[in-house]
Structure 1
Amino acid sequence: MLSSSPSALSTFLERSTRLFVITGAGCSTESGIPAYRDASGEWARKQPVTWQAFSVDPFMRKRYWARSMVGWRAFGRAQPNAAHVALAKLEQQGRLAGLVTQNVDGLHQSAGHQAVVDLHGRLDTVVCLDCQVRVLRSHHQRRLEDINPDWIDLAAARAPDGDAELESDEFDRFHVPPCRHCGGTLKPDVVFFGESVPGERVKTAMNWLDGADAMLIVGSSLMVYSGFRYARHAAERGIPIAALNLGKTRAEKIVGVTGHQVALHHLRPPRNGRLERLERTLNLLLQPNLNENAHCLPQPDGVEQGDITADHPRLFKRSNPRKTGRWRQMDPRGKLDIGELCIALQLLK
């Protein structure tokens, strides 16, 4: 049975004690990292460079590294947002079986999360295709800038995964340094489109899922099979699934075919902007009867005071405005997990 009611989703989260979480680009958009797909699951931008193109075409490698050098400055400064913090606190409470992310930004770990499988790798390291030595991307960035000084001041719009919307007739003039150890070809330590996810990551994630009592999808359409396989496996084992995502997910096909009980909710595009989306999100998980049994939580990153308190006075008040920057959320259950995750869901856009 498919349910999209707020009460069903709230009950789903309350009942789970060993939650398997998989996150996608929607979890990091509020940190300033764009997503590849739109609300319908279609490509919102040009498809990224494939593994085949990067591995065999020197021009494509030059183009990739030129765009990445420009895009890295913003990507490397990205900070965890309220979604990452909320999920890390769920882990600290012992309520997670494990978290798998399709993102390559490392923001879950920056938020304090411990048990994370970076399914598609991490962009903050670079690997040599010949000797397999890994170096920090920050070191590689300095080398790129040292030998390409004319490219440093170029400006371009941000693109997903540290890329930049940079086009040039002079990519051939861009210099890509070789591996310092063997002179080989360097590659970002991520799984390109068309490249296989390492088997040990898949195995670890499957083991976590087998030990879970529920699965939560956060900010992912699961259009890529490397992520979709976990929803399919959960459905085959009768593990209930909840999806918190703007627009459709590939998991809907599982529901229609298997008939497993899945609590699936969409956050649809609002008509009146960010505050309407926030209000819809807050109403999604919080029980209607709020009272003064409050707890404190950090103000969500990137959200100004007026965004929340002025428009939602029943939900928030300052705990001590002269001494702290913390907020109280009036939740009779007195838990951090549901309330903070509720705040974080404003990020799924």
Structure 2
Amino acid sequence: MDAVSLPEPSAGAVLRRWLQPYRRLFVLTGAGCSTGSGIPDYRGADGAWKQRPPVTYQAFVQDPATRARYWARSFVGWPRIAQARPNPAHHALAAWQRHGRLAQLVTQNVDGLHQRAGSQAVIDLHGRLDAVRCLDCGIHQPRTEVQAELARRNPDWLAKRAASAAPAPDGDAHLDGLDPRHAAIPTCPACGGDLKPDVVFFGENVPRERVGAAQAALRGADAMLVVGSSLMVYSGYRFARMAHEAGLPLAVLTRGVSRADALATLKLDADCGATLTEAMAA
């Protein structure tokens, strides 16, 4: 009798089996979790930048021209973030939480899509793009208010926005035909200070209380799962290293390489949404 060749198990089936022993799962998500919602990611499958790196905190704070260019680009890119909808990856993780399988969800993303999918008590490691804070007095205001003020002060941008939008991650966009050199950028309505999205820029430290809350949650977990992140940025990689040093099982689900591949007990190069949905299935 000829040998029967059995099909290889799917990534979702493999992840479902890996998850079975664990009841206190710590999940860290990255940009690959939101690509299914139409939000681009920063890096390719090899972990290298797909485009030029985003603006740094130091340049934003120190250079008025950089701030103007950032707000012009963000004016173009923000509507795509605001209109994005959760995809199957976000919905699967929210369902895991409802079923008591997810102890803590930490995200490096700033799009708020986990919360829109119904996830609770999410630690937004890098902040949220839908809020803006003053660099001087610290007050917050909704991003929608700043977007409206940008449009009011720069009416010519509205006509050019559709033609100039080449989307980039985190609400940014490449500009074509939109000149930010003479942009009128809103300032704080309370003190007149400079405004910045309430997100952690490259070169800026993640607030200590967020890191501490995530570390405490990881210490109470029995396994860690990374979803859609290359972990090339230390702010996320630190948790994978911490899990490994504590002897916790670590699974990485992402397209291409990750910085934690050598630490992982399971590595899956597969689509996040389809894999998480199947892993959640009974």
Give the TM-score taking structure 2 as reference length.
Answer: 0.90
Q: Which has the higher contact order (CA 8 A, sep 6+)?
A: 2
Distance 2:96 2:179 in 1: 48
157, 163, 167: which one aligns with 1:158: 167
Partner of 1:254: 263
> What letter matches 2:204 in structure 1?
E
116, 133, 136: which one aligns with 1:130: 136
257, 266, 271: which one aligns with 2:269: 266
1:82 is displaced (CA, Å) by 1.1
Is 2:229 the counterpart of 1:220? yes
Is 2:59 the counterpart of 1:53? yes
Q: Any residues of structure 2 matched to 1:76-115 within 5 Å, and which?
A: 76-115=82-121
56, 70, 78: which one aligns with 1:72: 78
Q: Deviation per CA, 1:3-33, whole angstroms, max 9, x where unpaired?
A: x985653321122111100000011011111
Partner of 2:3: none
Q: Deviation per CA, 1:10-57, whole angstroms, max 9, x where unpaired?
A: 321122111100000011011111001011111001100000110000
Q: Any residues of structure 2 matched to 1:107-256 within 5 Å, and which?
A: 107-154=113-160, 155=162, 156-167=165-176, 170-254=179-263
Distance 1:31 1:285, change over 3 A: closer
Distance 2:91 2:261 in 1: 28
Partner of 2:6: none
Distance 1:8 1:81 in 2: 21
Which runs of 5 or more residues in structure 1 are unaligned? Answer: 256-261, 268-276, 287-336, 341-349
SS at match of 2:268: strand
1:231 is displaced (CA, Å) by 0.2
Distance 1:170 1:158 in 2: 17
Distance 1:99 1:285 in 2: 16
| Identity between Structure 1 and Structure 2 (%) | 55
Query: Is the contact between residue 144 and residue 177 of structure 1 (CA under 8 Å) also seen in structure 2?
Result: yes
Distance 2:159 2:177 in 1: 14
Bigger radius of gyration among the two: 1
Give the TM-score taking structure 1 as reference length.
Answer: 0.74
1:153 is displaced (CA, Å) by 2.3
**RMSD across aligned C-alpha pairs, in angstroms?**
2.1
SS at match of 1:175: coil
Q: Any residues of structure 2 matched to 1:297-336 within 5 Å, and which?
A: none
The number of aligned residues is 270
Query: Is the contact between residue 9 and residue 264 of structure 1 (CA under 8 Å) also seen in structure 2?
Result: no
Is 2:278 the counterpart of 1:339? no
Distance 2:277 2:76 in 1: 40
Query: Is the contact between residue 254 and residue 268 of structure 2 (CA under 8 Å) also seen in structure 1?
Result: yes
Partner of 1:43: 49
Query: Is the contact between residue 157 and residue 178 of structure 2 (CA under 8 Å) also seen in structure 1?
Result: no
Query: Is the contact between residue 9 and residue 285 of structure 1 (CA under 8 Å) also seen in structure 2?
Result: no
